[in-house]
Amino acid sequence: MKLLLKGGRVINPATAYDEIADVLIEDGIIKEIGSHIAVDNAEIYEAEGLIVTPGLVDIHVHLREPGLEAKEDIVSGTQAAAAGGFTTVACMPNTRPIIDNSILVAGLKHRAQTEGIVNVEIIGAMSKSQEGKELAEIGDMLLNGAVAISDDGHFVNNARLFRAGLEYANIFGKRIISHAEDENLSSEGVMHEGAVSTRLGLVGNPSVSEDIAVSRDVMLAEYTNSLLHVAHVSSKNAVDIIRQAKKRGVNVTTEATVHHLTLTDDAVIGYNTATKVNPPLRSQDHVDALLAGLLDGTIDAIVTDHAPHAYEEKDVEYRYAPSGFTGLETALGVILTELVHTGKIGLMQVIEKMTYGPAKVLGLNAGCLKVGGKADITIVNPGQEWTVDSRTFYTRGKHTPYEGKKLKGRAVATIVGGKFVMKNGEVFA
């Protein structure tokens, strides 16, 4: 099977390539990238005026399987990923049961390969049942295909255990992903602690809870010379702690979510539970610091933290609602609208943070367009205007803080292994 993408603006951040070019795909592999490629018996996709990029990579999603399929499963989650332009996602282990052993890792990988329509990577838990008391089967999980280890959703309060996890994962050259919030400070908070929380009468989660946790985790990574990745950074001081650690040579990476880059705690006014997330949406000074960290390279990846919930779970008072909302199908449009079209960040850098950057963090064979490489590709119409309507989502989670928002730019085709899994908004299961 041959597929020829004609005349698109091909952007490949890994090589700083940005040219009008054709891309020839044969049997799922990129055969040629260049001008005026001619080939017989190929399906032609006219990409003039469109952007051709490596397939988007999201290293922080919650597919909810096993055990929480009322919220999401591999089928609906990967359909949502394809709809949003993502060709590779890495799912977190806080499911039911927790993904804390090699049997679950291997079983999920098999199910993802047979039922998913994009590439799914598995992240295993650091501690058994994510209780923070005893290490999980870290080595077995990594040997059976897990790409990283994390107790995401929980801060590992036991510093000795966290150190042991860092050292153990480092033997295999893999990262511990830290959910960095000191729960002694943050546990009762339902939004960012500040002027807005005071006005709304909601208990605040102070940014210092993140700062303290990031400081400890970075210090342990430095002391053990291990690989650390800080999930969903949201605090300005945490960004600077990571920035200074990188300057000292600490092998620490970090990510920022789409919502932490584009929303402030003002979004909570009105008590819409679609705005409740952990860590919380913070004030403008923190958002500004995240953007600065993105621009100077402190932040390595943009992620969604796609965390769908059943409708009835969110249809409660704000303080009782679970944290998290869907993000895969809105991420690219929101980033293009709020950051690229406003001139806050360049297109090449955004694509890097959504492809090659996250792939590099976890050592994935993804996020790059190269001859001989797998044809995982996203085609983007940067000027397409559309309005967020959760009723059209493929994900089972319908809560989004961007409901009704007018966006400019979206993925119009997603190619995995040389085959279209989405075209013009329609996902092919």
285-296 mean pLDDT = 98
Using DSSP's 3-state secondary structure scheme, residue 121 falls into: strand
Query: SS3 string of 328-359?
Result: CCCHHHHHHHHHHCCCCCCHHHHHHHHCHHHH
Summarize pLDDT for 228-253 with one digit per residue, the tens: 999 999 999 999 999 999 999 999 99
Give the span between the Cα atoms of 183 and 155, in whole angstroms: 7
Catalytic residue, chosen from 22, 151, 305, 376, is 305
The pTM is what?
A: 0.97
pLDDT higher than threshold 80 for residue 46:
yes
pLDDT higher than threshold 80 for residue 273:
yes
Domains of the chain from N-terminus onward: 2-52+374-427 (2.30.40.10), 55-362 (3.20.20.140)
> For position 128, what pLDDT does the model report?
97
Q: Which residues contact 387 (CB under 8 A, 6 or more apart)?
A: 404, 405, 406, 407
The region that residue 29 occupies, defined by phi over 0 for left and psi between -120 and 50 for alpha, beta otherwise, is beta
Give the span between the Cα atoms of 387 and 209, in whole angstroms: 36
> For position 1, what pLDDT does the model report?
85
First to last CA, the chain: 19
Mean of per-residue pLDDT scores for the chain: 97
> For position 429, what pLDDT does the model report?
72
> For position 425, what pLDDT does the model report?
94
Partners of residue 256 on adjacent β-strands: 302
Q: Which residues contact 89 (CB under 8 A, 6 or more apart)?
A: 57, 58, 59, 61, 63, 77, 78, 81, 118, 119, 120, 121, 306, 328
> For position 187, what pLDDT does the model report?
83
> For position 298, what pLDDT does the model report?
98
CB distance 3 to 413 below 8 Å: no
Q: Lowest-pLDDT range, 3-7, 34-38, 343-347?
A: 34-38
Q: Is 305 a catalytic residue?
A: yes
User: What Rg, from alpha-carbon coordinates, does the chain have?
Assistant: 21
Summarize pLDDT for 91-110 with one digit per residue, the tens: 999 999 999 999 999 999 99
Summarize pLDDT for 254-263 with one digit per residue, the tens: 999 999 999 9
Q: 141 falls in which pLDDT band (50, 70, 90)? A: very high
Give the residue among 233, 190, 241 at the shortest CA–CA distance from 361.
233
21-30 mean pLDDT = 98
262-283 mean pLDDT = 98
Task: DSSP letter for 265, please.
Answer: G
Summarize pLDDT for 360-402 with one digit per residue, the tens: 999 999 999 999 999 999 999 999 999 999 999 999 999 999 9
pLDDT higher than threshold 80 for residue 84:
yes
- What percent of the chain lies above the pLDDT cut of 70? 100
Summarize pLDDT for 66-81 with one digit per residue, the tens: 999 999 999 999 999 9
Summarize pLDDT for 300-342 with one digit per residue, the tens: 999 999 999 999 999 999 999 999 999 999 999 999 999 999 9
